[in-house]
Copies of this chain bind each other. A is one copy, B any other.
Amino acid sequence: MTAPSDTRHKLLDAAERLMAEQGIAATSLRQIIAEAGVNLAAVHYHFGSKEEMLDALVIRKAGPVNEIRLALLTRFEAEAAPNPAPVEKVLEAFLAPPFLERERSPLFVQVMGRLYAEGLMPSIVAKHFQPTVSRFYAALQAALPHVPAEEMVWRVHFMIGAMAHTMWGPPGQESAPVVVRRIVQFLGAGFRAEVSE
């Protein structure tokens, strides 16, 4: 009994490497199958389309990252109990895992950045990240009861933009913890801002 689909993994590995390097739109299926040493139609057989292969690529590693996020959040909430976790801790739980993953497995996170940069992320978030997003929403609301819900939507939106932009192409080379400290400090102050007018 051999691996039921070695081809499948070879395709995902090759796609990850090439797409991280060149971008998603710029990477053709023919490049990917050449790198993987398989036939073009295998893509269609295993995934159905280039887009569905991307979904599989994301699911393969986004799942673990989101689990770490939730575990961290749970821990920080326990540490702060009976108070809600402070906003900086909530942000750290959300931001640290992907930035650390970026160091451990740069290829995948580059692909994620490409997904944002090429406008493909919203549908993937909706498909695979929604539960995580909801949980963090609640934690932010608990940490900042003075921020109205409709303002919170915008602040989360700003956070996602800053995170995505930085994940894709940070302005310098610094270790993940330093980057996380910078972005948590910046966004934490933003989230805490008084809501005026």
Task: Name A's B-contacting residues (CB within 8 A).
Answer: 23, 25, 114, 116-119, 122, 150-151, 153-166, 168-172, 179, 181-183, 185-197
Collect the chain B residues with CB atoms within 8 Å of residue A158's CB.
162, 165-166, 183, 186-187
Tell me the nearest residue of chain B to A196, going by C-beta. Answer: B185
Tell me the nearest residue of chain B to A26, going by C-beta. Answer: B119
What is the predominant secondary structure among interface residues of chain A facing chain B?
A: helix
Question: A185 to B197, alpha carbons, bound, how many Å?
Answer: 11
Q: Give the 8 A-B CB pairs with smallest separation, nearest first.
A: A161-B165, A117-B119, A189-B193, A158-B162, A186-B190, A190-B190, A161-B162, A189-B189
14 A-B pairs in the complex with CB atoms less than 8 angstroms apart: A114-B119, A117-B119, A122-B169, A154-B166, A157-B162, A158-B183, A158-B186, A160-B165, A161-B165, A164-B165, A185-B194, A185-B195, A186-B193, A190-B190
Collect the chain B residues with CB atoms within 8 Å of residue A186's CB.
154-155, 158, 190-191, 193
Determine if A157 and B165 form an interchain contact, defined as CB atoms under 8 angstroms apart: yes
CB A111 to nearest CB in B, in angstroms, measures 13
Collect the chain B residues with CB atoms within 8 Å of residue A187's CB.
158, 190
Tell me the nearest residue of chain B to A197, going by C-beta. Answer: B181
Tell me the nearest residue of chain B to A167, going by C-beta. Answer: B161
Determine if A193 and B183 form an interchain contact, defined as CB atoms under 8 angstroms apart: no
Given contacts A25-B25, A161-B164, A190-B190, contact A154 B169 (CB under 8 A): no
Collect the chain B residues with CB atoms within 8 Å of residue A170's CB.
154, 157
Question: A128 to B118, alpha carbons, bound, how many Å?
Answer: 21
Question: A191 to B182, alpha carbons, bound, how many Å?
Answer: 11
Question: A114 to B191, alpha carbons, bound, how many Å?
Answer: 27
Collect the chain B residues with CB atoms within 8 Å of residue A159's CB.
162
Question: A189 to B5, alpha carbons, bound, how many Å?
Answer: 51
